[in-house]
């Protein structure tokens, strides 16, 4: 990357990268926001909300990014897993009834964890089915892949409507995770902390799998050069189905978390989030987990700050963010493949 | 002796372009064997077809008597065929060690082999824990070859290893390939006749998707008429 | 990238060309018949609903054909086509609302919409057509969504979710009489009064026809063969010296401009413009389904796809309602036949079609298109 005869801008970029480079962007964004907002307590609340939202988006985006990185498969049906996760999570929470609404915090948290687990397992199984039936026949054919996954998205959304109907569904939120506490004059919603910690745990787990295991080594290599991994004797399609299942499971987990955060869900929940997820994947760099995390946090912060400063511009601001970053780095901030 | 690899009338298409039409070739056991040809003659396509990365439309590829032309690439690799592609196929985001480890059967290195590789290519040991994208072109080529020999292979396919390398590194490569060829068979694709001449035992000249000459390297190396007939095509004449 | 996607097509291609003379004739005949039916629609199907269907078909043929130029001829997958459609429509609508119902409003507003679409297409194209097809699809999807949000939020300008209602030139109103008979009433031809509504329909029909013929001309021109070369093999085209990004951006702009024109027609016909009728993602899905069902890369397929889908949209739902009622006593079945679920069946058909007949109806019959 840093050739000795690199041009001047390349060397500046290299120096910039050495000091953490793009990783400071969220910090920069937060500082600018603090200056614009003015009140530290409001800023802190927004920052926490942004981080929590970012982590939930990360859950949804990381799988999509890895799936794309490994197989060049962009699953436009990914949002169906988010929607399914949200509805299954909400249904399980409703079933558990007293567990969730009762006053025993241990049961509360347990209830939420069960709901998230069920959603995640469903996501993995649905991912397996989806990969086998929908995607496998059209590997390597981008056009048909986009068409088929869009078709599958339509069908999946209709199925959700068939099962749960079109009316918005309330999501019971566990009593122990409802409400907020005040810390140094800043009111902090408990659910946001929970969401942030869960996202962080998933990120750490993914990081360890990718960097400490042979499976992770294979995935990282496959993202860079699928053909060479096959030429070394590994069945990349078997690897891919695992990654696909994991990615779908994470999307469903993110959906379940988001459902709990929203409190009221409709069948459009997945497609609404998908725009942000796509923006995250694009600005983060396809195929990169770190990139997804960075992108998700940037998008989460941006959405919350702008929603406070200029409510009408919230989504457009993230679009502008994407455009700016694409102009600066056409392959995203932290692309997986070293060029 | 039966050849390690035999190509019988192999046809390969890429899109609507017919790249190979009827390549037949024997690769004898042991030593270095060379396919020479100019750019676009079908050299790379031949190697990629053997490796299963492009599928032959017609013909057979016999590896130790078994037709592998319909097998998926990983199965071909598992039969003991290693491939060093033209772009070297280095995983730049992985360290040198990870690149090497990936090429082992079960993630464990054979200490003896590793020591020998470090001996042949000192740079590999020197940059062991560095990310591979930081290597120079020559070092990347060394890594690509090392990766191919980290396990004992039956056959190693190498696509233009001298491309873009400095003469001193090419001399190193010649020595390295001689050593490697003591335990395995190498099928080399080249444009650089002098490099090929120094290593090859047999040679096949490919042009326009077909083999136009086959024989011992010694014969071609001494016969100037043959050389001008087949190699004046556009091989560098130095 | 190149290797795997391209391999194996040539063998199939060879077998395709022969034996499709008959199919080709059927497609031409079908398209001719549709054209004739549309040309005579006000007299053949004089009721209000059929008029609505016919006008919608005209507009969508242009919209879908321009999308075919992208997806079928250039291999670009864009989700921003409704965005350009909407820009034409909103430009016209806003001008008609603020300047009053005149032709100059249509001209200025529509022109502004077209120019805005071209500029935006140029920006998006230059920014992201360099990268992979999939990447581009995502960027356009994001852009289109933002545009949708903008349209519903800038309500002072666009009327928000409610959209804009406005009047159109008097020439196009049903009260305007093109020809009068002795009693001063609108002259009737085959029992149909020759009023402004007819004028409006023919305005839509003829403009759509001209645009469609222009698109046909483009794909038959040298530009069309360049596109073909790019689609078949991007790297080779680059090597031959075609500036791939330049051509793709040019095509993206042309398609955007034509889509904006279709938007103008839609706005004038409906006398109403809102996010639901010109911008929503459902319309994008419709366009996608129409072009794939009809046959990508054939242009004529657009005609067939639009007619089929539009008829299905208007009439299949009725049929499903009947079916749901008839099976009301059974479990699940009536839910599945609920007209609201018609997209479920369409989606399934679509998936099967992409698997088994990627060339679509026209492509399969004519033995072309539906590359890869």
| C-alpha span between C150 and A324 (Å, rounded) | 19
Q: Are A229 and A62 in contact (CB under 8 A)?
A: no
The C-alpha of B232 sits at a distance from chain A's nearest C-alpha, in angstroms, of 34
Nearest chain C residue to A225 by CA: give it.
C1
User: For C13, which of B16, B55, B57 is closest by C-beta distance?
Assistant: B16
Residue A22: pLDDT over 60: yes
DSSP letter for B110, please.
-
In chain A, the percentage of residues whose pLDDT exceeds 90 is 43
pLDDT for C369 equals 43
In chain A, the percentage of residues whose pLDDT exceeds 70 is 93
pLDDT for A121 equals 97
Closest alpha carbon to A324 in B31, C123, C99:
C123
| C-alpha span between B65 and B216 (Å, rounded) | 23
Please report which confidence band the pLDDT of residue C9 belongs to, taking 50, 70 and 90 as the band edges. Answer: very low
pLDDT for C7 equals 35
DSSP letter for C363, please.
H
Q: Do C10 and B53 touch (CB under 8 A)?
A: no
Task: Please state the separation of Cα B7 from the chain's center in Å.
Answer: 15
Residue A2: pLDDT over 50: no
Q: Does C149 lie at the interface with A, CB-CB under 8 angstroms?
A: yes
Q: Please report residues of A whose CB lies closer than 8 A to that of B101.
A: 214, 217
Q: Are A67 and A234 in contact (CB under 8 A)?
A: no
Q: Are C293 and C351 in contact (CB under 8 A)?
A: no
Per-residue model confidence as pLDDT tens digits over A179-217? 788 888 788 888 999 999 999 999 999 999 999 999 999
Mean pLDDT for the stretch of residues C307-320: 82
C170 CB-side CA count, 13 A: 3
User: For C6, which of B15, B18, B48 is closest by C-beta distance?
Assistant: B15
Cβ–Cβ contacts within 10 Å for residue C226, how many? 19
Mean pLDDT for the stretch of residues C352-366: 83
- Its pTM stands at 0.82
Q: Which domains does chain B have, with CATH numbers?
A: 5-231 (3.40.50.300)
Element (H, E) at B26: strand B17-27
Q: Do C6 and B48 touch (CB under 8 A)?
A: no
pLDDT for C238 equals 61
pLDDT for A285 equals 86
Q: Please report residues of B whose CB lies closer than 8 A to that of C6.
A: 14-15
Please report which confidence band the pLDDT of residue B148 belongs to, taking 50, 70 and 90 as the band edges. Answer: very high
Among A242-251, C146-155, C224-233, whose mean pLDDT is lowest? C224-233
Among C2, C6, C235, the strongest candidate for a mutation testing the B interface, having the largest count of B CBs within 10 A, is: C6
Q: Please report residues of A whose CB lies closer than 8 A to that of C153.
A: 312
Q: Please report residues of B whose CB lies closer than 8 A to that of A66.
A: none
Q: Do A275 and C142 touch (CB under 8 A)?
A: yes
Element (H, E) at B190: strand B185-190
Q: Please report residues of A whose CB lies closer than 8 A to that of B98.
A: 217, 221
Q: Are C282 and C81 in contact (CB under 8 A)?
A: no
In the structure encoding, which two tokens stand for residue A28, read together?
A: 């920069």
| Residue extents of the structural domains in chain C | 21-366
Task: Decide if A248 is inside a domain.
Answer: yes
| C-alpha span between C81 and C107 (Å, rounded) | 21
Q: Where are the alpha helices (DSSP H) in chain C?
A: 2-6, 9-16, 21-39, 41-44, 48-71, 81-99, 103-128, 133-153, 155-158, 196-220, 222-232, 234-240, 244-270, 275-278, 281-294, 300-311, 317-326, 333-337, 342-356, 360-366
Please name the residues in contact with A162: beta carbons below 8 A apart, sequence gap of 6 or more: C335, C336, C341, C344
Task: Please state the separation of Cα A275 from the chain's center in Å.
Answer: 11
| C-alpha span between C118 and C185 (Å, rounded) | 44
Decide which of C137 and B97 is more confident: B97
Decide which of B24 and A139 is more confident: B24
User: For B78, which of A221, A224, A233 is closest by C-beta distance?
Assistant: A233
| C-alpha span between B102 and C208 (Å, rounded) | 59
In the structure encoding, which two tokens stand for residue C130, read together?
A: 């360099």
Burial of B90 (0-12, 13-18, 19+ CB in 10 A): buried
Q: Do B15 and C11 touch (CB under 8 A)?
A: no
In the structure encoding, which two tokens stand for residue A158, read together?
A: 């209709």
Q: Please report residues of B whose CB lies closer than 8 A to that of A223.
A: 93
Please report which confidence band the pLDDT of residue A230 belongs to, taking 50, 70 and 90 as the band edges. Answer: very high
Q: Are B178 and B147 in contact (CB under 8 A)?
A: no
Cβ–Cβ contacts within 10 Å for residue B62, how many? 17
Q: Are B238 and B226 in contact (CB under 8 A)?
A: no
Please report which confidence band the pLDDT of residue A79 belongs to, taking 50, 70 and 90 as the band edges. Answer: very high
- What average pLDDT is seen over chain A? 86
Please name the residues in contact with A240: beta carbons below 8 A apart, sequence gap of 6 or more: A67, A70, A71, A73, A131, A222
Closest alpha carbon to B16 in C228, A142, C233:
C233
Residue C234: pLDDT over 90: no
Q: Are A26 and A325 in contact (CB under 8 A)?
A: no
CATH number given to C21-366: 1.10.3470
Closest alpha carbon to C91 in C208, C205, C262:
C262
Q: Does C8 lie at the interface with B, CB-CB under 8 angstroms?
A: yes
ipTM: 0.90
CB pairs under 8 A between B and C: 28
pLDDT for B1 equals 65
pLDDT for C20 equals 65
Task: Please state the separation of Cα A44 from the chain's center in Å.
Answer: 22
Per-residue model confidence as pLDDT tens digits over B178-193? 999 999 999 999 888 8
Please report which confidence band the pLDDT of residue B234 belongs to, taking 50, 70 and 90 as the band edges. Answer: very low
Among A41-50, A221-230, A270-279, whose mean pLDDT is lowest? A270-279
| C-alpha span between B31 and C3 (Å, rounded) | 31
Q: What are phi and psi for residue B206, nearest 5 degrees?
A: -110, 135
The C-alpha of A327 sits at a distance from chain C's nearest C-alpha, in angstroms, of 7
Q: Please report residues of C whose CB lies closer than 8 A to that of A161.
A: 340-341
Q: How many domains does chain A have?
A: 1
| C-alpha span between C238 and C1 (Å, rounded) | 15
Q: Does A218 lie at the interface with B, CB-CB under 8 angstroms?
A: yes
Dihedral sign computed on CA atoms, order B92, B95, B96, B99 = negative
Q: Taking a contact as any Cβ pair under 8 Å apart, which residues of chain C between 217 and 246 contact chain B?
A: 232-233
- What average pLDDT is seen over chain C? 81
Decide which of C335 and A2 is more confident: C335
pLDDT for A17 equals 61
User: For A141, which of C5, C132, C153 is closest by C-beta distance?
Assistant: C5
Go through chain A and tell me how many residues it has.
339
Q: Please report residues of B whose CB lies closer than 8 A to that of A228.
A: 85, 89, 91
Mean pLDDT for the stretch of residues B116-142: 92
Per-residue model confidence as pLDDT tens digits over C174-222? 777 666 666 666 666 776 777 778 888 999 999 999 999 999 998 888 8
Please report which confidence band the pLDDT of residue C13 belongs to, taking 50, 70 and 90 as the band edges. Answer: very low
Task: Decide if A287 is inside a domain.
Answer: no
Q: Which residue segment(s) compose the domain that A231 sits in? A: 53-268
Mean pLDDT for the stretch of residues B129-152: 92
User: For B77, which of A217, A233, A338 is closest by C-beta distance?
Assistant: A233
Residue C368: pLDDT over 70: no
């Amino acid at each position: 990357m840093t050739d000795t005869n690199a041009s001047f801008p390349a060397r500046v970029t290299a120096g910039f990268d050495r000091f953490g480079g793009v990783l400071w962007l969220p910090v920069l964004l937060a500082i600018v926001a603090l200056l614009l907002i003015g009140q530290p307590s409001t800023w802190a609340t927004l920052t926490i909300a942004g981080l929590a939202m970012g982590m939930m988006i990360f859950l949804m985006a990381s799988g999509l990014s890895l799936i794309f990185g490994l197989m060049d498969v962009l699953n436009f049906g990914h949002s169906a897993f988010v929607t399914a996760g949200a509805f299954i999570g909400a249904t399980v929470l409703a079933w558990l009834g007293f567990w969730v609404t009762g006053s025993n915090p241990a049961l509360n948290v347990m209830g939420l964890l069960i709901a998230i687990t069920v959603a995640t397992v469903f996501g993995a199984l649905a991912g397996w089915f989806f990969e086998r039936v929908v995607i496998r026949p059209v590997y390597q054919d981008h056009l048909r892949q986009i068409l088929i996954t869009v078709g599958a998205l339509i069908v999946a959304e209709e199925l959700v409507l068939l099962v749960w109907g079109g009316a918005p569904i309330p999501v019971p939120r566990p009593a122990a995770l409802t409400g907020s506490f005040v810390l140094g004059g800043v009111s902090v919603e408990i659910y946001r902390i929970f969401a942030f910690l869960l996202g962080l745990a998933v990120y750490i787990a993914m990081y360890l799998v990718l960097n400490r295991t042979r499976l992770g080594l294979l995935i990282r290599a496959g993202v860079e050069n699928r053909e060479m991994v096959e030429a070394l004797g590994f069945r990349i399609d078997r690897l891919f189905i695992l990654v696909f299942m994991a990615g779908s499971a994470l999307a469903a987990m993110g959906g379940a978390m988001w459902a709990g955060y929203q409190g009221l869900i409709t069948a459009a929940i997945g497609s609404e989030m998908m725009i942000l997820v796509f923006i995250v994947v694009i600005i983060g760099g396809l195929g990169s987990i770190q990139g997804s995390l960075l992108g998700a946090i940037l998008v989460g912060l941006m959405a919350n700050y702008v929603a406070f400063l200029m409510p009408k511009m919230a989504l457009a601001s993230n679009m502008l963010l994407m455009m700016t970053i694409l102009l600066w780095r056409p392959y995203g901030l932290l692309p997986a493949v070293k060029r | 002796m039966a050849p390690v690899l035999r190509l019988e009338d192999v046809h390969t298409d890429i899109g609507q372009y017919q790249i190979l039409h009827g390549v037949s070739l024997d690769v004898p056991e042991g030593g270095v064997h060379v396919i020479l040809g100019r750019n676009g003659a079908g050299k790379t396509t031949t190697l990629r077809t053997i490796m299963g990365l492009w599928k032959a439309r017609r013909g057979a590829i016999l590896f130790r008597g078994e037709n592998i032309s319909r097998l998926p690439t990983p199965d071909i690799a598992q039969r003991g065929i290693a491939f060093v592609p033209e772009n070297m196929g280095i995983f730049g985001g992985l360290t040198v060690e990870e690149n090497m480890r990936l090429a082992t059967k079960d993630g464990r290195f054979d200490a003896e082999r590793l020591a020998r590789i470090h001996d042949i290519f000192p740079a590999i040991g020197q940059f062991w824990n560095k990310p591979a994208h930081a290597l120079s072109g020559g070092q990347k080529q060394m890594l690509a070859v090392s990766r191919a020999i980290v396990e004992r292979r039956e056959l190693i396919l190498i696509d233009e290893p001298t491309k873009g390398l400095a003469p001193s590194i090419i001399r190193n490569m010649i020595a390295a390939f001689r050593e490697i060829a003591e335990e395995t068979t190498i099928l080399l694709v080249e444009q650089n006749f002098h490099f090929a001449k120094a290593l090859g035992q047999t040679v096949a000249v490919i042009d326009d998707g077909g083999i136009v000459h086959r024989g011992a390297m010694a014969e071609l190396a001494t016969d100037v008429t043959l050389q001008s007939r087949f190699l004046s095509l556009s091989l560098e004449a130095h | 990238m190149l290797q795997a996607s391209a391999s194996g097509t040539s063998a199939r291609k060879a077998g395709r060309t022969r034996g499709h003379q008959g199919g080709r004739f059927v497609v031409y005949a079908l398209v001719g018949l549709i054209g004739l039916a549309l040309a005579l629609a006000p007299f053949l199907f004089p009721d209000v609903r059929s008029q609505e269907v016919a006008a919608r078909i005209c507009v969508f043929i242009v919209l879908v054909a321009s999308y075919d130029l992208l997806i079928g001829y250039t291999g670009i997958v864009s989700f921003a086509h409704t965005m350009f459609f909407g820009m034409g429509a909103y430009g016209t609508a806003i001008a008609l609302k603020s300047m009053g119902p005149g032709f100059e409003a249509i001209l200025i507003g529509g022109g502004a919409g077209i120019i805005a679409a071209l500029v935006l297409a140029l920006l998006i194209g230059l920014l992201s057509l360099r990268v992979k097809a999939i990447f581009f699809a995502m960027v356009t999807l994001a852009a289109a969504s933002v545009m949708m949000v903008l349209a519903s939020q800038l309500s002072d300008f666009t009327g928000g979710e409610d959209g804009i209602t406005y009047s159109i030139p008097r020439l196009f109103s049903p009260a305007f009489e093109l020809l009068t008979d002795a009693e001063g009433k609108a002259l009737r031809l085959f029992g149909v009064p020759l009023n402004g509504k007819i004028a409006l329909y023919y305005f839509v029909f003829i403009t759509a026809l001209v645009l469609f013929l222009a698109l046909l001309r483009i794909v038959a021109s040298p530009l069309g063969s360049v596109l073909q070369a790019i689609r078949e093999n991007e790297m080779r085209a680059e090597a031959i010296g075609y500036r791939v990004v330049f051509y793709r951006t040019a095509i993206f702009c042309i398609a955007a401009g034509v889509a904006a024109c279709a938007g103008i027609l839609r706005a004038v016909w409906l006398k109403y413009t809102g996010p639901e009728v010109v911008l929503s993602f459902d319309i994008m899905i419709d366009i996608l389904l129409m072009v794939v069902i009809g046959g990508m890369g054939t242009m004529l397929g657009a005609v067939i796809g639009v007619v089929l889908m539009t008829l299905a949209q208007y009439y299949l739902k009725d049929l499903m309602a009947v079916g749901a009622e008839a099976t009301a006593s059974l479990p699940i079945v009536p839910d599945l036949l609920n007209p609201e679920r018609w997209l479920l069946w369409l989606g399934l058909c679509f998936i099967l079609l992409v698997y088994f007949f990627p060339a679509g109806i026209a492509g399969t019959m004519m033995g072309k298109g539906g590359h890869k």
